[in-house]
Amino acid sequence: MAAQLATMMPAGMPPIGLFRTFAKNLPMTIALSNWGRYELGRDLTLTLREREIVILRTCARCHCEYEWGVHVMVFADRAELTPAEVTSLTCGCPDDPCWTADRDATLIRMVDALHDCDDRMHGHRHESATAPRSGAA
């Protein structure tokens, strides 16, 4: 288990709590590691900066404080995100003055649109699930 955990973190960093929890199921951890290497690796079609914009905005919108904190701590500096950008991703909007690149603002809008669509879908599923069926006796 220790060897697997060592492959999941940058050299010299102890494994985060989430990975230690996953490691209790070694086959799942190995599968997750392969997926994670792609999602966090150089082969992803997004740049490091773009990936972190999407992850941090998604975490903020979904109230995933733990994952948000891990990504700020480990990747924000590497992604060259400024403190103003991290703040905006957390509680701002794509029109904030820190977003000077159209692509960055577009990524934020896309995350927001997907998140908001998901909220509408939750309501739709609830209405559909609780509506009486026609012809029901």
Rounded to the nearest 5°, which phi and psi values hold at 89? -65, -30
Instruction: Report whether pLDDT(56) > 80.
Output: yes
116 or 60: whose pLDDT is higher?
60
Mean pLDDT of 99-112: 96
Query: Can you say how many angstroms the Cα of residue 3 is from the centroid of all Cα atoms in its chain?
Result: 26
Q: How many CB atoms lie within 10 A of CB 17?
A: 10
> From CA 49, how far away is CA 67, in angstroms rounded?
16
> From CA 93, how far away is CA 77, in angstroms rounded?
20
Mean pLDDT of 23-51: 75
Mean pLDDT of 12-32: 76
- The predicted model scores a pTM of 0.68
Amino acid letter at 111? V
Instruction: Report whether pLDDT(103) > 70.
Output: yes
44, 52, 112: which is closest to 80 by C-alpha? 52
Mean pLDDT of the chain: 81
**What pLDDT, on a 0 to 100 scale, did the predictor assign at position 34?**
66
- Who contacts 23 (Cβ-Cβ below 8 Å, separation ≥6)? 1, 4, 5, 15, 29
DSSP 102: H
